[in-house]
Chains A and B, each alone.
Chain A
Amino acid sequence: MLQIISRSKYWLTLSGALFVVALLAILIFGFKAGLDFSGGNLLEFKFLKDRPTTEEAKTMIDELKIESGVVIQPAGEKNLIIRFQAADESLHQKIVDKFKNKYKDDVQEERFDSIGAAIGSELKTKAVYSIILVSICIILYVAWAFRKVSWPVASWKYGLIAVVALLHDVTITAGVFAVLGKFAGIEVDLPFIAALLTILGYSVNDTIIIFDRIRENLGRFPKSDFGEVVNRSLNETMARSINTTLTTLLAIVTVLIFGGASISSFALALTIGIFLGAYSSIFVASPLLVVWEKMNRK
């Protein structure tokens, strides 16, 4: 039997440190807001033959005398992404015409996203609301699911600890994206929010299942030490925890690898979050439960 609870201190220190680092990263770096939230325009061309260099493209666009900041970056092997600030449809057309004139049929407009600033801030508000809403719903559900367990730890404490574990998962995932945004230019967009919400819903599963087993074992071994019961429960459910997470990860990692660029950051967030969800149920939530019970006894 693996001794997890007896090494609680190490796990909790590790997770605590990760959590603090992630939080600092978010506070210091912030997120690199994607088009969904910042508003603006993103135009992606695909060049079938020779892709112009960033400088060449920049010169072409400068000839159009666009006031608002233009950022050009290559994407993939054949593509070029051009970002520019608020403008009306005619500017978009001017840029497309300019490239079409020069490269004729060798250039394709792959996508064009134009998000008004109003929509951007609206989506931001909506994203925040939905995160709060999901969190509240999950806290209520967990509290309801554990309503019958009250000994030796009160049912609301199970709920609270499950939520702490969740916060841990979501914060570290978000922290990774804050760092990636700072150093790799990865943006935070609507799918990222969807990924965070999914992590909230999915990773609490593991915690619930382990807590279920603890509840069951408390009935079976009423005279055992609480820490021992928790450790026993963890071991009994270990194969299950690993396997469920593994199958889900198998599915999402294939999306991350083969799904293409448009969905990769979404898949990355899910991969990190789902892994952390399994980790935190075993190494954060359960040890915290024991720590809290010990504090109560003193």
Chain B
Amino acid sequence: MANKLQRITKVRLSVVLIIIVAIALGFFDVPQVYDRAIDFANAKIQTTFPHFKNIPFRLGLDLQGGTHLVYEADTSKIPFGEKGDAVEGVRDVIERRVNAFGVAEPVVQVNKAQGKWRVIVELAGVKDVNEAIKMIGETPLLEFKEENTEPARELTPEERKAMNEFNKVAKDKANKALKEALAGKDFSEVVKTYSESETGADTGGDFGWIKQTGEFAKLFEGASKTEIGKVVPKVIDADNGLYAAKVNDKRESGQEIKASHILICFKGAESCAKETTKEEAEKTVKDLKLKITPTNFAKLAKENSTDSVAENGGELGWFQKGQMVKEFEDAGFALAKGQISEPGLTKFGYHLIYKTDERSIQELKVSAVFVKTKKESDILPPKDQWKSTQLTGKQLKNSRVNFNQSTNAPEVALQFNDEGKKLFADITSRNVGKPVAIFLDGQPISIPRVNEAITGGEAVITGNFDLAEAKQLTLRLNAGALPVPITLLSQQTVGASLGSESLQKSLFAGLIGFILVIIFMILYYRLPGFLAVVALIVYAITVLFVFKAIPVTLTLAGIAGFILSVGMAVDANVLIFERMREELRLGKPLSTSIDVGFKRAWPSIRDGNATTLITCFILAWFGTSSIKGFGITLGIGVILSMLSAIFVTRSFMQLFASDDQKRNLWWFGLKKNKDIQ
């Protein structure tokens, strides 16, 4: 008796477990349901449970729209052992171009089949496929560029004339605004009529509190001497335009100081290029302190300081709290005007600070009319940082990864042909100490600094790269040096509208199929049929979970595979129930019938599904994406359906398996209790 009770408890436990797991997996499949419930709960009982992690199903190109391109790479000119790397280089080049195209999760794969190298490109949701194909097919362009020192061109007379006219109109407009404001017209009206600025457009031209430094420095400077409530009597000329301003208010907020400093940095300090030790630096700074006075400060700074302002006598200009490192700022603000600090240490090294002036920070509250003007730089195209040299990938023989003989660090070696040797020698001798940039498809891939002129036609790029980075750089260099021509073998493009239409249709078909199977099972098998349906729902939830978790790319054929697997999933249940009925007809008790039914049906279920699984494996191996998708979804479905029949249906059935003789066996599909032989 105790044994039986135990068994019932166990069955109940596993049923509860199955339901809990199914609900959890269901939330994973459709997190929206969970989110809505949680939102409701959060609102009701004032909690803040987070939403469920939403991982979308991965849809194939035929369902979300997109294009599938197969290229063949012509590697006939590449030495045998380097073919793989060369094609990998092509892949890298294509990937960079595709990424520039802004496609979500593009796929670019190399595939070697029967001695042929192919590159497969999958782009989801590209609008202009033609443009993408054009871009992918272009031969990669590798260029060596040097720093551009040429000045930007002059304005043409027409452009200058146009600019002057524009500015004149602006000036007239600003003057007119000023005149009206000075005449006492409501300032916000003037702003409304004349201002071209977005700032303060709704608040009568209010620019808020402006500071002496920053964006409105010129405006501040022009307006600072005007009294509160007055209009500034002159048009203020700022870099980008003209202001007619009115001062609304003034205030002081804290102090700012003006200081100079001497920095003695040492090896290990931030941005220090010196070999000085910390002790040496400390000694230097102490010696300096002994002889330094306000009069010789600038001179000593020029001679000793190691930072970039040394040439100006260490002059740092005005600064406020929060602009310098903490230690420096504290020391500087603590000084009296005209005083020089004791040596102090920051992360940059040792400092001596000379406080030359201090003042309180003024702020102005200003309303203003803004009128735009133009400068030369607004009209001229921006100056390119890099300019082309004659040297391109054509003169590069190859590149490879080397290891530095002393440090063993990976480095990238370049070898040029005769023409390239000469060009490279010219470039490097022109640019000693300066960077030279290597561009692939208009994007810099490496910007090494030239240490010395290289005339031998062989160069080495050293740097902090690890092996993978060095390898990637050589792949890219070689892709430009020895371009592998690619030809488009096949293209399959599906419009987004067709994709979503297919998705909707197949989902609808799936739903109908599912419902029909449910109706059939319940009508024919009654209670076990109902339990099988519950098991089928658990099955569908689990399959969808697996699709998301792996993730499986769902294609149209893949969804068909899933629908088919729903039909097949009940097969196992049918086998078991038919067996069970036979046992019941023989007059065996219900619980025994269930057990025997499962046991006897198992070999048939196993054998039957095994052949389908074999087919699925071969379909998945077949390779073409739609067929593969079908094989994978059907295969996953078949495996899970077996598990579902054995664990889920069985647990549910055992829940109802009491041996009460009065139990009406109609529920289990027998016509009458008399049916028992």
Residues of chain A whose beta carbon lies under 8 Å from any beta carbon of chain B: 44, 46, 88-89, 93, 96, 108-116, 118-119, 122-123, 126, 130, 133-134, 137-138, 141-142, 145, 190-191, 193-194, 197-198, 200-202, 204-206, 208-209, 212, 236-237, 239-240, 243-244, 246-255, 257-260, 262-263, 266-267, 270
How far is A111 from B623 in the complex, measured between Cα atoms in Å? 22
Closest chain-B Cβ to A250's Cβ sits at a distance in Å of 4
- In whole angstroms, what is the CA distance A145 to B634 when docked? 22
Q: Which 3 A-B pairs have the closest CB atoms?
A: A201-B615, A251-B567, A205-B608
27 of the cross-chain contacts (CB-CB < 8 Å) are A109-B493, A112-B491, A114-B490, A122-B113, A133-B618, A137-B614, A190-B627, A194-B630, A194-B631, A197-B618, A198-B612, A202-B568, A202-B615, A206-B608, A209-B575, A209-B604, A212-B604, A247-B521, A248-B568, A250-B517, A250-B567, A251-B564, A254-B510, A259-B509, A260-B501, A260-B506, A263-B560
Cα A225 to Cα B336 in complex, Å, equals 121
Q: A198-B619, A198-B634, A247-B568 are in contact. List 13 more A-B contacts (CB 8 A).
A: A112-B493, A134-B614, A190-B624, A198-B615, A201-B611, A205-B607, A208-B607, A240-B575, A251-B563, A252-B564, A254-B510, A257-B509, A266-B557
Cross-chain contact B524 with A243 (CB below 8 angstroms) = yes
B495 contacts partner chain A, Cβ-Cβ < 8 Å: yes
Contact A114 B491 (CB under 8 A): yes
Contacts of B631 in A (CB 8 A): 194
- Determine whether the beta carbon of A190 is less than 8 Å from that of B520: no
Chain B residues lying within 8 Å of A243, measured Cβ to Cβ, are: 524, 574, 578
Of the residues B129, B524, B564, B604, contact of A248 by C-beta under 8 Å: B564
Beta-carbon contact of B611 and A205 below 8 Å: yes
Q: Is the CB of A110 within 8 A of B608?
A: no
Interchain CB contact (< 8 A) of B557 among A197, A240, A247, A263: A263
Q: Is the CB of B497 within 8 A of A141?
A: no
* Among B497, B502, B603, B612, contact of A108 (Cβ-Cβ < 8 Å): B497
A253 — nearest CB in chain B belongs to which residue? B513
Contact B509 A134 (CB under 8 A): no
Cα(A210)–Cα(B578), bound, Å: 13
Least CB distance, B449 to chain A, in whole angstroms: 43
Say whether B619 contacts A145, CB under 8 Å. Answer: no
**Residue B571, interface by CB 8 Å:** yes
Whether B492 sits at the interface, judged by CB under 8 Å, is yes
- The smallest beta-carbon distance between A205 and chain B, in angstroms, is 4
Contact B571 A244, beta carbon cutoff 8 Å: yes
Cα A52 to Cα B373 with chains together (Å): 56
**Interchain CB contact under 8 A, A208 and B604:** yes
Are the C-beta atoms of B578 and A239 separated by less than 8 Å?
yes
Interface residue B610 (Cβ < 8 Å from any Cβ of A): yes
Please report the C-alpha to C-alpha distance between residue A175 and residue B506 in the assembled complex, in whole angstroms: 27
> Which one, B72, B113, B491, B571, contacts A247 given CB within 8 A?
B571
Number of residues from B at the complex interface, CB < 8 A: 70
Chain A proximity of B174: nearest CB distance (Å): 46
List residues of chain B with CB under 8 Å of any chain A CB: 62, 70, 72, 113-114, 129-130, 133, 488-495, 497-498, 501-502, 505-506, 508-510, 512-514, 516-517, 520-521, 524, 556-557, 560, 563-564, 566-568, 570-571, 574-575, 578, 582, 603-604, 607-616, 618-619, 621-624, 626-627, 630-631, 634
- Report the minimum CB–CB distance from B609 to chain A (whole Å): 7
B566 touches A251 (CB 8 A): yes
Asked if residues B62 and A262 are in contact (CB atoms below 8 Å), the reply is: yes
Cα A46 to Cα B495 in complex, Å, equals 10
- In the complex, A270 Cα to B565 Cα: how many Å? 13
Q: Which residues of A contact B623 (CB under 8 A)?
A: 126
In contact, A262 and B495 (Cβ under 8 angstroms)? no
Please give the distance in Å from A148's CB to the nearest CB on chain B. 11
- Residues of B within 8 Å of A116, CB to CB, are 70, 489-490
Q: Which residue of A lies closest to B629 (CB)?
A: A194
Q: Which residues of B contact A115 (CB under 8 A)?
A: 490, 492
Q: Are A252 and B608 in contact (CB under 8 A)?
A: no
Kindly identify which residue among A44, A108, A113, A133 contacts B491, using a CB–CB cutoff of 8 Å.
A113
B568: A residues at CB distance < 8 A: 202, 247-248, 251
Q: How far is the CB of B128 from chain A (nearest CB, A)?
A: 10
B505 near A89: Cβ-Cβ < 8 Å = no
Measured in the bound complex, the distance between the Cα atoms of B560 and A249 in whole Å is 12
- B611–A141 CB distance below 8 A: yes
- For B495, B501, B616, the residue with the greatest tally of chain A CB atoms inside 10 Å of its CB is B495
